Chains A and B, each alone.
Chain A
Amino acid sequence: MTEHVTQAAYLVAAALFVFSLRWMSHPKTARRGVAAGVGGMALAVFGTLLHPEIVAFHWIAIAAVVGTLIGIPLSRVALTAVPQRTALSHAFGGLAAGLVGTAKFSLWLPEGELTGFRTGAIAVEVLLGFLTFTGSLMAAGKLQEVIPTRPITYRGQNFINLTLLAIALLAGVGLVLDPTLWALFPVLVVLSLLFGVLLILPIGGADMPTVISLLNSYAGLAAVAMGFVLENKVLIIAGALDGSSGLILSIIMCRAMNRSFTNVLFGAFGQVQASTKGAAEQKPVKSATAQDAADLLEMAREVVVVPGYGLAVAQAQHRAFELYEQLQKRGIRCRFAIHPVAGRMPGHMNVLLAEANVPYDALAEMDDINGDLPQVDVAIVVGANDVVNPAARHDQSSPIYGMPIIDVDKCKTVLAIKRTMNPGFAGIDNELYTADNTLMLFGDAKAVLSEVVKALSGESGMGH
């Protein structure tokens, strides 16, 4: 009887998880999606606690309290730190999978319950779980800048990594063939942990959005493998939903940078930057004041702001919102053009701007806004660099050639806010800054935007 209740609870939980993700299709229904997710989780936990094998609850309760105590502060981090938090929770997900796999192996080994199928599923669970654990910790460390964000490479890196992975897989196969060779199990665990570290070492800061998505997918697949081990369908379903979500996000991120998975994982982007600087003649840069910018904006009918992660670093989101408000007040249409890789994880820039009160209908995706840009009077580039570099369209020697960009250079006037003329994150020169229709506003993003807003609001009394 209890078994039926448990299975029914799992069934409804699985349905709720699907609805939860469905409702994420629109900001209006999204919060309902969270409620559905919470409901599904509560049902699944309830169904599990009915299991007759559970003889004592106190350790579960203690662990749940500890988890809640860690979880609550983790949910209150600054929004700029959300990528680190996400990476950290992938790590926890991977750890749980790895530990459950290890525990099951240790329990089944003396009982002689290790069939080939079970051992194989455990090997996959442990491999994915532990590599996600250390890999995500590394990613979180790089995002928090505890570990250097530049790619760390050495000779024969890919060869060493692939050899380690091959040995780990061989250990797994050995265990499947003969589970009594249990000494292979710790080998598998250690190699998985090591492989996770080595996999992320050569990956640079610019690739973090893809890597986080990929680790998300691995964490999901580790849960799927756990489902196969425990013969639990709700685990398989929830893990598969998580796995496919991570996969789709990784594909979107890779496309947005015009790179392949193998290139992200083995390419060590952001370090080997061929310097093509010497040959190019230096074109003069035109700079402007905040007052010039305000005058230009006054006359505009349509304005587009292109924010990059630099906007968040300078804590200038709220100034950007004030600018948006000033323009709205004058009947000037103002939108924010968001590149898929703006920020440190998929969708990061949207969240940062939403926090600053920018309504979501003013946030436009790159593909939706590019066609409108030739009609836009003024584009303001704040803290973005490579995602607006026209070289990506025509300069085959550029490392970012082929990457889809926001075509701000097609706008009538471009205002670029930048500290200095130093090249950006990836160290690539940007010809946008020397284009004829570009005016540079030098200074800190927050300070410059404040001045522009001040100049704009100062004129508001004068009328036309």
Chain B
Amino acid sequence: MHQLDFWSMTFVFMLATFVGIDVIRNVSRLLHTPLMSLTNAISAIAVVGSVIIAGEQKTTFSLVLGTIAVAASVTNIVSGFLITDRMLKMFRQQGANR
């Protein structure tokens, strides 16, 4: 059963990488710094795994690690999205008002 899961996950990984490369190539070079903070926030999706570990509360050890991991991921989500938006607000076109 795990054999099958492994392969289907690998397919997902491969396809997502191709989509990612294609989409990122089209990102405006102007926006590479906000892009990095945005992908940073998105990859804080690790919060999903951390929340389960912290919520299961199976052992004290796992609870502690899970709680730290949730805090680290939430930090990235909050600061990543906020700073991306803050930077993007600064980009204006010629003649346009802020």
The number of residues on chain B lying at the interface, defined by a beta carbon within 8 Å of a beta carbon of chain A, is 85
> Helix, strand, loop or mixed for chain A's interface?
helix
| Contact call B58/A67, Cβ cutoff below 8 A | no
Rounded to whole Å, the gap between the CB of B48 and the closest CB of chain A is 5
Contacts A38-B81, A54-B52 given; indicate if A93 touches B26 (C-beta within 8 A): no
| Contact call B24/A21, Cβ cutoff below 8 A | yes
Partner of B65, one of A51, A103, A118, A233: A103
Chain A positions within 8 Å of B96 at CB level? 359
| Contact call B38/A21, Cβ cutoff below 8 A | yes
Chain B positions within 8 Å of A102 at CB level? 65
Chain B positions within 8 Å of A351 at CB level? 33-34, 87, 90
Q: B39-54: contact bitstring with A at CB < 8 Å (1 yes, 0 no)?
A: 1111111111111111
A244 to B, closest residue via Cβ: B20
Rounded to whole Å, the gap between the CB of A367 and the closest CB of chain B is 9
Contacts A82-B83, A233-B9 given; indicate if A103 touches B53 (C-beta within 8 A): yes
Q: A274-292: contact bitstring with B at CB < 8 Å (1 yes, 0 no)?
A: 0000000000000000000
A253 to B, closest residue via Cβ: B32
Alpha-carbon distance between A48 and B46 when the two chains are bound, in angstroms: 11
B29 to A, closest residue via Cβ: A365
| Contact call A86/B46, Cβ cutoff below 8 A | no
Alpha-carbon distance between A351 and B87 when the two chains are bound, in angstroms: 7
Rounded to whole Å, the gap between the CB of B51 and the closest CB of chain A is 5
| Contact call B42/A71, Cβ cutoff below 8 A | no
| Contact call B79/A74, Cβ cutoff below 8 A | yes
Chain A positions within 8 Å of B65 at CB level? 99-100, 102-103
B interface residues with partner A (beta carbon < 8 Å): 2-3, 5-6, 9, 12-13, 16-17, 19-21, 23-59, 61-63, 65-96, 98
A/B interface sample: 5 pairs, CB < 8 A: A75-B80, A93-B76, A96-B70, A117-B3, A238-B45
